[in-house]
Amino acid sequence: MKDAYAVIGHPVGHTKSPLIHGLFAEATQQAMHYTAIEAPREPAGAFAATVREFIAAGGKGLNITAPFKLAAFEMADARSERATLAGAANAFKFEDGRIIAENFDGIGLLRDIEVNLRTPVAGKRVLLLGAGGAARGALLPFLGARPVELVIANRHVEKARALAAQLAAHGRISACAYGELERRGRFDLVINATSASLTGDLPPVPPGVFSPRGTAYELAYGKRLTPFLRLARNAGVAGVADGVGMLVEQAAEAFAWWRGVRPETQAVIDRLTVPLD
């Protein structure tokens, strides 16, 4: 009998998670089955009901993707520090009748940048675009990597300022509106954590924020040269990357949390990588 795991979101037709976890299970010889569940967005409570149906059927754990990361955090019985500070969860584990929430988005992103892309964050100026669930999950791990400064830019600046205030004790972090970025200078690492690229749009970021010797990172994956990455490349940035490595690395963290063994990731990243050009 294989243990049941799944990714839950809306929509989930595009998800690579079943492939990723299937490859991990094969490589580590784990007896597990992984599928995708599309939960309805309406009515209120439909997400929680879908999760409880999965638990009742014997499910052991879930990955949570958009738009349910905040709802997942709210329904959990216990939450990790990362999930608590993010106010969002991207993974569940079910133990002793309890729902335990974690957030591996930031760890996966940081590992992809520092290990796979060989771009240390320590001492760098980092700009994070967006203040939603994906951005929130990245903040604590990134501050732990000791950037000289981390700036959050968001359309609704008060939301970004509230996040910065919440995490002020963990490092040098501030927030601003997009219109203020022109006078903030260049950043060594610019991360697009908005949903703009999912619809082919560009966040209102000026090209002057990019350092030509820096890195531009797009959380969306498999969309080739998005408007954000094209803007960065046109600004002279040589180091551009999408989020496929983050996807695989955060999946590996969840897999290790569930199964007690962390799979190798590079072969899976190579398999999923789509050339940007």
**Contact status, residue 240 vs residue 233, Cβ threshold 8 Å:** yes
pLDDT band at 213 (very low <50, low <70, confident <90, very high): very high
Q: What is the pLDDT of residue 120?
A: 96
Taking only the tens place, the pLDDT of each residue in 113-150 is 999 999 999 999 999 999 887 788 889 899 999 999 99
For 3-103+245-272, the fitting CATH number among 3.40.50.720, 3.40.50.10860, 3.30.390.50, 3.40.50.10490 is 3.40.50.10860
pLDDT, residue 138, reads 87
CB 223 within 8 Å of CB 197: yes
Domain ranges of the chain: 3-103+245-272, 106-242
Q: What pLDDT, in 10s, does the model give residues 20-55?
A: 999 999 999 999 999 999 999 999 899 999 999 999
Q: Which residues contact 85 (CB under 8 A, 6 or more apart)?
A: 136, 139, 140, 166, 167
Instruction: Encode pLDDT of 233-266 as tens digits.
Output: 999 998 999 999 999 999 999 999 999 999 999 9
Catalytic residue chosen out of the listed positions 2, 60, 69, 159: 69
Give the model's confidence band at 199: pLDDT under 50 very low, under 70 low, under 90 confident, else very high: confident
pLDDT surpassing 90 at residue 220: no
- 69 labelled catalytic: yes
Q: What is the predicted pLDDT for the residue at 176?
A: 95
CB atoms inside a 10 Å sphere around CB 227: 17
The token pair that represents 198 in the structure block: 């999912």
Task: Please give the helix or strand (H or E) that residue 189 lies within, else none.
Answer: strand 187-192
pLDDT for position 223: 82
For residues 237 and 212, the answer to whether their CB atoms sit within 8 Å is yes
Could you list the residues known to form a binding site for shikimate, using ranges: 15-17, 65, 90, 105, 221, 250
Mean pLDDT of 90-106: 96
**Residue 237 CA to its chain's centroid (Å):** 22
pTM (2 d.p.): 0.92
Topology adopted by domain 106-242? Rossmann fold (3.40.50)
The yes-or-no answer to whether 3-103+245-272 and 106-242 have a common fold is: yes
Task: Please report where in the chains the tokens 């990588």 appear, as a residue.
Answer: 273
DSSP H/E element including 78: strand 78-79
Binding positions for NADP(+): 81, 130-134, 219, 243
Q: Give residue-wise pLDDT tens across range 141-197.
A: 999 999 999 999 999 999 999 999 988 999 999 999 999 999 999 999 999 998 877
Q: Which residues are annotated as a binding site?
A: 15-17, 65, 81, 90, 105, 130-134, 219, 221, 243, 250
